[in-house]
């Protein structure tokens, strides 16, 4: 069984972001093997008038070990933090750092340009910029 810890927001001001990230933890573990350990990387979601920005913490992970995919309205971020190999003479006495797979699924709203997603990674921070789509005016249908 997998456990992904998720902090609950204590302020109603965050309800907009809760809706945006709804059911994330459930989706993250849906397609994972039974003996596989998965962790959810910490991330921030920022909205401006023209775009959404997602900033994810991936310290110690190379951009070659990060995979970003889009499936309908789900943006999927996956990363592998490879375990460091020690020489035969070395032994760990204490180990806290996580090595393994990271995965987050973010539900995108309908008002994004799915072809306008850009990603860059620098110093362990993955930044995605998702442009908002132009709002289409409401159309009316005449009755014959």
Query: Which pLDDT value is given to residue 127?
Result: 97
User: For residue 105, what are the β-bridge partners?
Assistant: 76
Give per-residue pLDDT as tens, 65-111: 999 999 988 999 999 887 777 777 887 777 777 677 889 999 998 88
What pTM value is reported for the model?
Answer: 0.66
Please give the class, per CATH, of domain 14-132: mainly beta
Q: How far apart are CA 27 and CA 80, in angstroms?
A: 18
Give residue-wise pLDDT tens across range 15-32. 444 555 544 444 444 445
d(CA 83, CA 98): 9
130: enclosing H helix or E strand: strand 125-132
Are 111 and 135 contacting, i.e. CB atoms less than 8 angstroms apart? yes
């Amino acid at each position: 069984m997998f456990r992904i810890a998720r902090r609950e927001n204590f302020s109603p001001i965050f309800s907009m972001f809760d809706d945006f990230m709804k059911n994330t933890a459930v989706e993250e573990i849906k397609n994972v093997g039974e003996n596989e350990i998965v962790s959810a990387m910490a991330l921030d979601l920022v909205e401006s008038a023209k775009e959404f920005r997602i900033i994810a913490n991936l310290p110690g992970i190379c951009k070659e070990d990060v995979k970003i995919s889009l499936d309908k309205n789900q943006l999927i971020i996956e990363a592998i933090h490879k375990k460091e190999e020690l020489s035969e003479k070395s032994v760990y006495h204490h180990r806290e750092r996580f090595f393994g797979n990271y995965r987050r699924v973010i539900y995108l709203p309908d008002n994004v340009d799915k072809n306008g997603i850009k990603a860059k990674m620098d110093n362990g921070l993955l930044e995605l910029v998702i442009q908002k789509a132009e709002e289409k005016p409401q159309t009316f249908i005449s009755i014959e």
